[in-house]
Structure 1
Amino acid sequence: MTGRLWPRGLRARLSLTFVLVTVLGAAAAAWSSAGSASTALVTSTQRRLTESIAGQIGATTPQLTYPPDQAALDRLRAAVGANTLVTYRDLRSADGAETGLVTEALHTAVRTRDRLVTQRVTASGRPWLLIGTPIVITGPDGARTPSGIEVYAVRDLTGVERQVDDLAWSAAGTAALALPPAVLLALLAARSVLRPVRELRDTARRLAAGDLAARSPPQGADELAELTVTVNEMAESLQTSMAAMRRMQADARRFAADVSHELRTPLSTLTAVMEVLATAAAEMEADARESAQMAITETHRLVRLVEDLMEVSRFDAGTARLRLEEVEVGNAVRDCLRARGWLDQVDLAAPEEIPLRLDPRRLDVIVANLVGNALRHGGPPVRVSVSATREQVRIEVGDGGPGLPEHVLPHVFERFYKADAARVRTPGSGLGLAIALENARLHGGDLTAGNASGGGARFVLRLPRKREDG
């Protein structure tokens, strides 16, 4: 609940925090001032009332007779004023109904402390100040002895309470007046703080989008400026590293393309020689025939590697193009298997009438690579199924082998990657699956690798039914 109520944006949070701090500070200061003023007002009023009553008593006591009679008590009560109670042993002189507010606790405090005592009470929703004091007789020698006379006065504090309420409302008004300038200052502060943050955000987005020349000009000499300088240095280092990497990649691709191109002519000649050698191999001695067969095999492997390198070079250079034709996918897959003599080794489930506009040569390359891998590295049975929906055509190749290890799955489409170091002399170039993936993407589709739930590796080719011809 708190996460939903608290604003999520940095600007909103900063502004709200600044406003809250300012308003709370103003309110705290105003309430503190109001509280101090209220305390001072109540204390001042209490002191004024007690001093007034003490002065009235002091002016009357020299005229009293001791022990006092009822008339003396009445004169003393009249001198003090309304709402006054004067007692002497069993004698009482009272004026005003509010004298009933005098508490037993006040009586006890006056008698035990032998000095003026005050008490504040609330009755009928109104505040009252109770003042009680004993009258002390001072002898010629300065000795002070209690006379037994006690004076109690009740004074209304409603006016003082009204003034205290006015001070509280004034404090609330002061806090409210602080709100508009606090909001304005918060917006200005948020703008000044968040401007470099927004610039850093924009720079980071441009860097993420590939604009490695994006920079933010540092402003000031605070922590944000230091962060900006650090981001710029990071971007500069990244740009330098990426430029060097691109140069190395371009050099490697150019080298592979150049070498492949230069090898085509001598390999063509060598292939022709190997064909002649293959024809004559039957008449050779056993050792010579074995060497000739090895040379023929390695020559074919070298030709395949050069062809794959040239194909990869075309993908890297962006010159690979589709030659689209209307193809019946099931028949195309069957023709691929038949051309390589795999029909007897593969279980094919391909319904008729799945037409698709694609490049048949590139589809042949994809299927041949997937099925060839399953036959060489998987286990029987090898299954190929073709299916279709309104959106895509799906070709799945699976085998009954042990499947792909978890550490191999992220790398199966990497160039020259071989899961088993012992298979370095296998007929493949290490580029087959990478070329198959590039061909799938060239069609606007995708190729994924995984393991079937019942065991064995599974490769799934997905080709869209509709695509933009480019």
Structure 2
Amino acid sequence: MRNWSGSDLKLRLTLRVAAVATLCFAVISGYFLFDSDRSVRARITAVADIAARTLELQQNKIQWLNNPHTEFPDLDSVAASVMAPGLCLAFRSNGSEISQRFCGGAQTDTAAPPPLAFAALYRRLFDPGREAVRPVVARGHAIGEAVVWVDPAVLTAEAWHDAGRLMAVLMIALPLLCALVYAALSRALRPTRLIRDGLERIAAGDLAARLPPFDLAELSAIGDVFNQLAERLAAALSDRNALTQKLILVQDEERRHLARELHDEFGQSLAAIRALAASARLTAIQDCPPLLAECDGIARTATDMMETLRGALFRLRPPDVDELGLAASLEGLIAGWNGRSRGQPGFEITLSGSFARLPASVSANLYRIVQEALTNAAKHAGATRVVLRLEMREAPSGGDSEIALAIDDDGRPGDPHGDLQVKSGMGLLGMRERVAALGGRLSFEAGQLHGASLRVVVPVAAGAEAAAVERAA
């Protein structure tokens, strides 16, 4: 069975109208055939009545004149007045013998004979050879019967001729009706294109899409509901972005607080351990030389812990982007990664445009996004080369500028740690939240053979709103 799930609505409605019209034509054709059969039955019954009365008069005349040599039955007078093509008139005596019969010849018709299927169906439904019989009575006794019938072949041919004319009308009227219905539906359903375009704009993130009022009440109701949903969705998204921005601010503040605590408490403790290890080493040189190795081990361990602490503090509390600017901060971040990784992997950065006048919220969030993406690529994807590109450009639709961020790496395909961290981990979720708070778009694609690509586009105008939220918080 053909699947109509993706078919055109106009075509489906037109086909249904065509089916209904065909059914109506079939019903009308059947009605005409039944009415024609009823008319034929009434006509041959009337002819049988006339023939019976005429024969009774003839018999009464013979008996009144007492002339047995008068010809009986005499159907010439009746046949002359009622005879029609295919009509048969006869007198049948009580002995079931036909005494006299007249049959009209069939009309000369050059049309093709009816199909055998139609002829069989017509004979099954109407029994066209059925006779109309009326008794002929003389002196209170039946002396015979007047019998009238119509040749079945003639009736079948006439029925096929009438049905053929209706079929010809159907063949002409049905395509015209379908064309008119399709044109009317196309005009009536033209607003559905606007509805589809509006839905596509909403799906693409354009929450300012609205539908105009329509003439049809049903479509107008759909447009009103669509506009209400778009307004509520825009309001909900605005509230969500504001809440997300506040949460990000709280998160950043908590990170700064944690960094201060680690620096003030843990950092001083590590410095004290190193100082005590150095003092113990001086004492061991004079009093207990075998303890020198342990003192040196304590000092190395404290130094390693301090290096780890510095890396953690750098991630928790990055350099002041407001003072250095986004471009300088990112260049410093790349230089720091290259210094710590010693070229494995290698980090590259390309900047295009001016980023000096970016709002503080946009710069800070973009820095955090880059920081999280580089960490994923370096620690989880097993990449050997990571390329960062940041571009200030005009928006394709015109208006305000936008920032396009692209990060590509050549990491291993299907890496379990990388997939878990990047696709479903908190890293990508945090990046999405930051981009959503700025009113931007984020996409992530993993290559079939190797590598992954992160794309972020943020409108610069969104920074003003984020800054307002930050001041309100």
**TM-score range relative to shorter protein:** 0.5 to 0.7
1:190 matched to 2:185:
yes
Q: Quick check: 1:57–1:76 contact (8 Å CA) kept in 2? A: yes
Partner amino acid for 1:47? T
> Which residue in the other structure is 1:61 paired with?
59
Q: Distance in 1 between matches of 2:148 and 2:99?
A: 12
* Aligned with 2:90 (options 73, 80, 84): 84
TM-fit CA distance, 1:270: 7.2
Q: Quick check: 1:136–1:146 contact (8 Å CA) kept in 2? A: yes
> Which residue in the other structure is 2:23 paired with?
24
Identity %: 18
For residues 186-235 of structure 1, give each alpha carbon's deviation from its aligned partner in whole angstroms, at most 9, with x where no partner exists.
22442244233322211111011110111112324633322222222111
Q: Distance in 1 between matches of 2:129 and 2:17?
A: 43
TM-fit CA distance, 1:57: 1.5
Q: Distance in 2 between matches of 1:210 and 1:164?
A: 66
Partner amino acid for 1:149? G
1:245 matched to 2:222:
no
1:307 matched to 2:314:
yes
> Which residue in the other structure is 1:108 paired with?
none
**Secondary structure at 1:64's aligned position in 2?**
helix
Q: Quick check: 1:274–1:296 contact (8 Å CA) kept in 2? A: no
For residues 399-453 of structure 1, give each alpha carbon's deviation from its aligned partner in whole angstroms, at most 9, with x where no partner exists.
xxxx99xxx8898521499xxxxxxxxxxxx99xx9xxxxxxx9x97499xxxxx
Aligned pair in 2 of structure 1 residues 46, 10: CA closer, same or farther (>3 Å)? same
Q: TM-score scaled to structure 1, two decimals? A: 0.53
Q: Distance in 2 between matches of 1:238 and 1:38?
A: 67
* Aligned with 1:413 (options 419, 422, 425): 425
Q: Which runs of 5+ in 1 are unaligned?
A: 99-120, 139-144, 285-294, 337-355, 372-383, 418-429, 435-441, 449-460
Q: TM-score scaled to structure 2, two decimals? A: 0.53
**Secondary structure at 1:3's aligned position in 2?**
coil
> Which residue in the other structure is 2:162 paired with?
167
TM-fit CA distance, 1:90: 9.4
TM-fit CA distance, 1:255: 5.6
Q: Quick check: 1:86–1:92 contact (8 Å CA) kept in 2? A: yes
Q: Distance in 1 between matches of 2:160 and 2:315?
A: 92
Q: Which runs of 5+ in 2 are unaligned?
A: 80-87, 105-121, 281-301, 350-369, 385-407, 435-441, 456-473
What does 1:247-286 align with in structure 2 at a 5 Å threshold?
Answer: 247-253=242-248, 273-274=268-269, 276-282=271-277
Q: Quick check: 2:52–2:135 contact (8 Å CA) kept in 1? A: no
**Secondary structure at 1:168's aligned position in 2?**
helix
Q: Quick check: 1:257–1:313 contact (8 Å CA) kept in 2? A: no
Q: Distance in 1 between matches of 2:245 and 2:313?
A: 18
> Which residue in the other structure is 2:47 paired with?
49
Q: Distance in 2 between matches of 1:366 and 1:77?
A: 113
1:463 matched to 2:451:
yes
For residues 350-402 of structure 1, give each alpha carbon's deviation from its aligned partner in whole angstroms, at most 9, with x where no partner exists.
xxxxxx8857x99995577449xxxxxxxxxxxx899xxxx99554898xxxx
Q: How many residues align?
A: 342
Q: Distance in 2 between matches of 1:23 and 1:153?
A: 37
**Secondary structure at 1:2's aligned position in 2?**
coil
TM-fit CA distance, 1:29: 5.3
Aligned pair in 2 of structure 1 residues 135, 46: CA closer, same or farther (>3 Å)? closer
Q: Quick check: 1:73–1:86 contact (8 Å CA) kept in 2? A: no
Partner amino acid for 1:183? C
TM-fit CA distance, 1:97: 9.4
Q: Distance in 1 between matches of 2:445 and 2:145?
A: 107
> Which residue in the other structure is 1:455 paired with?
none
Q: Distance in 2 between matches of 1:217 and 1:14?
A: 25
Q: Distance in 1 between matches of 2:213 and 2:133?
A: 75
Q: Distance in 2 between matches of 1:445 and 1:221?
A: 44
Aligned pair in 2 of structure 1 residues 47, 80: CA closer, same or farther (>3 Å)? same
**Secondary structure at 1:39's aligned position in 2?**
helix
Q: Distance in 2 between matches of 1:128 and 1:257?
A: 101
1:11 matched to 2:10:
yes
For residues 18-39 of structure 1, give each alpha carbon's deviation from its aligned partner in whole angstroms, at most 9, with x where no partner exists.
33334433x1453255235413
Worse overlay, 80-89 or 34-43: 80-89
Q: Quick check: 2:48–2:146 contact (8 Å CA) kept in 1? A: no
Q: Distance in 2 between matches of 1:153 and 1:396?
A: 95
Q: Quick check: 1:212–1:235 contact (8 Å CA) kept in 2? A: yes
What does 1:212-223 align with in structure 2 at a 5 Å threshold?
Answer: 212-220=207-215, 222-223=217-218
* Aligned with 1:93 (options 89, 94, 99): 99
For residues 154-204 of structure 1, give each alpha carbon's deviation from its aligned partner in whole angstroms, at most 9, with x where no partner exists.
554766555433432232233234324422432244224423332221111
Q: Quick check: 1:34–1:171 contact (8 Å CA) kept in 2? A: no
TM-fit CA distance, 1:308: 2.3
* Aligned with 1:225 (options 220, 223, 231): 220
> Which residue in the other structure is 1:2 paired with?
2
TM-fit CA distance, 1:332: 5.0
